[in-house]
Amino acid sequence: MNAEERNYLVLDKIIERYGERPGGLVRVLYKAQELFGYLSPDVQTHVAEKMCLSVGHVHGVATFYAQFVTAPQGKNVVRVCMGTACYVKNAEDILDRFRELLGVETDATTADGRFTLSTTRCIGACSLAPLLTVNEKVHGHLSVEGVARLVELYREDDLDTDEEVSPVERERERERQRPASDQGAAPPPH
Amino acid sequence: MAPPTQVLVCDSTACRSSGGEQLFKVLRGEIKDLGLDVRVVKTGCYGFCGLGPVAVVHPGAVLYCHVDEDGAGEIARTHLRGGRLVQRLLYRSMNGEGRRNFLHEIPFFEKQQRVVLENSGLIDPEDINEYIARDGYFALAEALRSRAGPAGVVDAVLRSGLRGRGGAGFPTGRKWSFAAAQESPEKYIICNADEGDPGAFMDRSILEGNPHAVLEGMLIAGYAVGAREGYVYVRAEYPLAVKRLEIAIRQAQKLGLLGKNILGSGFNFDVDIALGAGAFVCGEETALLRSAMGFRGEPRVRPPYPVEKGLYDKPTIINNVETLANVPVIIRCGPEWYAALGTGGSKGTKIFSLAGQIRNTGLIEVPMGISLADIVYDIGGGPPPGRRIKAVQTGGPSGGAVPAELLDVPVDYESLQAVGTIMGSGGLIVLDDTDCMVDLAKFYMQFAAHESCGACTPCRVGVVHVVDILERITRGEGTMDDLHELGELADDVREASLCGLGQTAANPVLSTMKYFWDEYLAHVKERRCAAGVCKALSH
């Protein structure tokens, strides 16, 4: 059995658990996205058949909500927060800098598959504005100058390893050996 | 015997992201290495997020802020073993008033009144026993035991004067009495945790810091109106809140506080989670219902209201997180005690999130009736050095900007409406002289255009058209005709839209045009943006 078949088996179990009521569709799609990385037409069709819904209904839901993606994502998904607090602290400039460095537009993936650049709605950690998330990790108090270092950190992360330690933690380790003067992110005012 | 020493480490999204997780690990390790008998506890949010990561050492409530990994070691060695304060990590007032050692001495907390947030930052949100030890679930027991029955609970909430904290301010007791009057064997309680307002994070903090208070509020609501099932509709952007809720639900089920025959009373009630998937419109109750039923979140016309025809067409109460978290307090302390807090028409306290151009960012809880100026200058510490506050935006994308000269306005539903904004859910964004109000209006309108569900034309088309005009103005291509059309169009969108999103979408434009007309004129007539935000304009 290959990985994809295994994923479909897991998905069927989730549909059994949450799919009884039509309200479970959003939850099922979440889990499907977790398993497959994105909601492909095949996955949407599979969910529709198993839940006795029309493919149109499932597709309509999958494309209505910002959290669902219907195209493959890069290894590192960068989501720049575009909430008000981040906006008034120049999040737009940070997004521009990412576009420039990665050479992609918003909601696109780099050719090497390493990065997907996207924006996110407010994640409610406005004290850290401007901020972004890379995959599940939040990075706060950003500066335009700090963007290049952040990209470098995640670029260094070897594609083939599945380490416990995130590149950021490794960098912190190095940081402690270094003087504090060349920090990429602006330190919070104290 | 001396009280045991404990270190409370804030473990909410903001502190975690600024190094709180690491702090917890290092602190535990150091304490173990030193062989100290000290308990390290993860708690919810203290509210002073701008100082994160924070740790509080008890006894004494000594607050350490911006604790880095070296700092964790210092706290263990100097304070916990050596009994001396770590001077370097104590709170330092920005106004040059020197260090403050203890939590209660810090000006940020002085004007606050923490009623709903009382347990946040004090208890471990992942341990139901700690909630119970702080009188948790006693309000539920009280309600179930009371001779007055469900009607007595509805009456208590009515007498407390509690109004919806989602922003509109509808009296909660009235909503409950409508639902209670519906003849239906099936009813639902939904907790609206979709907190879509950019810049608002009080619901997230409550769910992360004190999830059981919300569950208890739902249980009491369920008992009061005769519902047996509840759902928390929570944003997927809040993974930590979802995780803590799941843990809280499991623990409550295990103790028999959720499920069948609760506390032997014959009352059955259970709670599940419905995930929101990133759509601002789903904060609107009819859109939320459709979303919770697995459809696209498109609103419908009201009436019928959800209390008559809600989830799966059954009577449904939809209350915001903060509203529900107030309920146990009302039952435990009594509606009279609660109604003594706040003002004539707005009872109790309100939680606000402070963000933007302000020194102390974070989460605060204040009695209704306090002025915005007190919040911004006394609690928030004013603008960053050398800056001048220009306005405070309240109510997020549905609200408006209150200019600096009107900041003496008391915080209550009616007073805020009188100055052209709304209470909203509680996000306060502070703006200073480096912010352009035209650009801010454009930001909110772009947000509304992006989040419009598209079901009705005035909102779908009108808002986009408003964005076009604002983009022209901020590019320096605006005319006086544009300004005239902008005002008219904003009025049309407000009058003709189907739901609350569209009806309030143009508020940021209307309020900035009212108070900052000179900025619009400068953009159009002089091609000038004084704040220097609009890059196409020289200044």
Tokens of B97: 């008033």
Tabulate helix, strand, coil % of chain A (nearest 5).
50, 10, 40
Chain A closest CA to B115's CA: distance in Å? 21
**CB atoms closer than 10 angstroms to residue A111:** 10
Contact of B199 with chain A, judged by CB distance below 8 Å, is answered with yes
Strands B5-10 and B55-58, sheet pairing: antiparallel
Residue type at B484 in one-letter notation:
H
Strands ordered across the beta sheet of A137-139:
A108-109, A115-120, A76-81, A132-134, A137-139
Nearest to A131 by CA among A159, A68, A89: A89
Model pLDDT, residue B99: 78
Beta-carbon contacts of A20 under 8 Å, excluding residues fewer than 6 positions away, are none
**CB atoms closer than 10 angstroms to residue B178:** 17
pLDDT tens track for A157-167: 644 444 444 44
Contact call for residues B445 and B506 (beta carbons, < 8 A): yes
Q: Distance between CA B64 and CA B51 in Å, rounded? A: 9
pLDDT tens track for A107-129: 999 999 999 999 998 989 999 99
| CB contact burial B402-440 (16+ within 10 A = b; e otherwise) | bbbebbebbbbbebbeebbbbbbbbbbbbbbbbbbbbbb
Model pLDDT, residue B477: 97
Instruction: Look at A29 and B16 and tell me if their CB atoms are within 8 Å.
Output: no
Strands B91-92 and B99-100, sheet pairing: antiparallel
Count of CB pairs separated by less than 8 Å, A with B: 154
Q: Distance between CA B121 and CA B55 in Å, rounded? A: 10
The residues in A 93-132 lying below 8 A from B, measured between CB atoms, are 120-129, 131
Model pLDDT, residue B95: 60
Query: Long-range pairs for B53-56 at CB < 8 Å and ≥24 separation?
Result: B53/B9, B53/B10, B53/B15, B53/B16, B53/B18, B53/B19, B53/B20, B53/B23, B54/B9, B54/B10, B54/B15, B55/B7, B55/B8, B55/B9, B55/B10, B55/B23, B55/B27, B56/B7, B56/B8, B56/B103, B56/B121
Model pLDDT, residue B105: 84
- E strand or H helix at B219: helix B211-225
- For residue B127, CA distances in Å to A71, B41, B214, B276 come to 40, 11, 15, 25
Q: Distance between CA B359 and CA B380 in Å, rounded? A: 6
Give CA torsion, residues B378, B383, B386, B388, to 10 deg.
-100
Model pLDDT, residue B104: 81
pLDDT tens track for A7-32: 999 999 999 998 887 788 999 999 99
Q: Considering only CB atoms, which chain B residues are within 8 Å of A138?
A: 13, 16-17
Instruction: Look at B237 and A120 and tell me if their CB atoms are within 8 Å.
Output: yes
Model pLDDT, residue A158: 47
Model pLDDT, residue A182: 41
Percent of chain A whose predicted confidence (pLDDT) is above 90 = 74
List the beta bridge partners of residue B100: B91
Nearest to B24 by CA among B35, B34, B12: B12
- E strand or H helix at B150: helix B149-160
pLDDT tens track for A38-77: 999 999 999 999 999 999 999 999 999 999 999 999 999 9
List the beta bridge partners of residue B195: none
Nearest to B402 by CA among B385, B386, B423, B377: B423
**CB atoms closer than 10 angstroms to residue B233:** 24
- What letter would DSSP give residue A38? S
Q: Distance between CA B426 and CA B163 in Å, rounded? A: 13
Cα nearest neighbour of A142 on chain B: B18
Q: Considering only CB atoms, which chain B residues are within 8 Å of A120?
A: 237
Please list the pLDDT of chain B residue by residue as tens digits (539 residues): 567 899 999 999 899 888 888 899 999 999 999 999 999 999 999 999 989 899 999 998 999 999 998 999 999 999 999 999 999 999 987 666 677 888 888 889 989 999 999 999 999 999 999 999 999 999 999 999 999 999 999 999 999 999 999 988 999 999 999 999 999 999 999 999 999 899 999 999 999 999 999 999 999 999 999 999 999 999 988 999 999 999 999 999 999 999 999 999 999 999 999 999 989 999 999 999 999 999 999 999 999 999 999 999 999 999 999 999 999 999 999 999 999 999 999 999 999 999 999 999 999 999 999 999 999 999 999 999 999 999 999 999 999 999 999 999 999 999 999 999 999 999 999 999 999 999 999 999 999 999 999 999 999 999 999 999 999 999 999 999 999 999 999 999 999 999 999 999 999 999 999 999 999 999 999 999 999 999 999 65
Contact call for residues B95 and B123 (beta carbons, < 8 A): no
Contact call for residues B256 and B264 (beta carbons, < 8 A): no
Model pLDDT, residue B102: 84
Instruction: Look at A129 and B355 and tell me if their CB atoms are within 8 Å.
Output: yes
Higher pLDDT, A171 or B6: B6
Beta strands in A112-164 (DSSP E): 115-120, 132-134, 137-139
Chain A closest CA to B334's CA: distance in Å? 32
Instruction: Look at the block and give the residue holding tokens 């910002």.
Output: A66
Model pLDDT, residue B97: 62
| CB contact burial B124-133 (16+ within 10 A = b; e otherwise) | bbbbbebbee
Instruction: Look at A140 and B17 and tell me if their CB atoms are within 8 Å.
Output: yes
Q: Is B325 helix (H, G, I), strand (E, B) or coil?
A: helix
Model pLDDT, residue B1: 58
Instruction: Look at B201 and A125 and tell me if their CB atoms are within 8 Å.
Output: yes
Q: Distance between CA A132 and CA B515 in Å, rounded? A: 32
Give CA torsion, residues A124, A125, A128, A134, to 10 deg.
-90
Q: Considering only CB atoms, which chain B residues are within 8 Å of A68?
A: 277-278
Q: Distance between CA B61 and CA B109 in Å, rounded? A: 13
The residues in B 407-466 lying below 8 A from A, measured between CB atoms, are 427, 429, 431, 435, 440, 443-444, 447, 453
